[in-house]
Structure 1
Amino acid sequence: MFIVLMSFNGLPWLFLGVPTSSSLLYKEEFEKMKEKNPDNIRLDFAVSREQTTDKGEKMYIQTRMAEFAKELWELLKRDNTFVYMCGLKGMEKGIDDIMVSLAAADGE
């Protein structure tokens, strides 16, 4: 995976969500990739038991993605955008709600 990301010509944007920071797999490796290629990778974490939103609520992956919802929506409208999601089924509704509201606001 790391070799693919290092040779990838696009812009991978990784959202990683876990309960505790000790559960973040490959965090150091991802951060090194970002350090070496700051314009070629985006990396955002959601650590639900350690981070909170501005409202003091737990930071879940769908909450972190909501912070970038408009930018994500613009990317999703492009023909060359690919999305791979892996995680608990419970996060699906939150992400779907964000995208559906943006699509509706955009007349989609």
Structure 2
Amino acid sequence: MAKPMTKTQLVAALAEEMGSDKKSAGGALDAVIAIITREVSAGGSVTLPGVGKIYCRERPERTVRNPATGEQIQKEADKVVKMTIAKALKDSVNG
């Protein structure tokens, strides 16, 4: 399995794709990340066309087991960030 792309590599690739410098590409990437974070934190969702949908989902209170001790404990309700992958991306990977 290939290593994941680092932020530096992503910024360099984005700059090349945009025909821009790394500083403006890094600023654009940081702005997109900030917008996604703000929207999902507020309970909304963000759709990245061709990539997928990022959203926040609430999980109810539940009983979990500590694997080390076997003790059953009650875990409070919490929120998790989820992503649904777009069909176009799935098809490009599998096709």
TM beyond 0.5: no
Of structures 1 and 2, the one with the larger relative CO (CA 8 A, separation 6+) is: 1
Question: TM-score with structure 2 length normalisation?
Answer: 0.25
Larger Rg: 2
Pick the structure with more strand per residue. Answer: 2
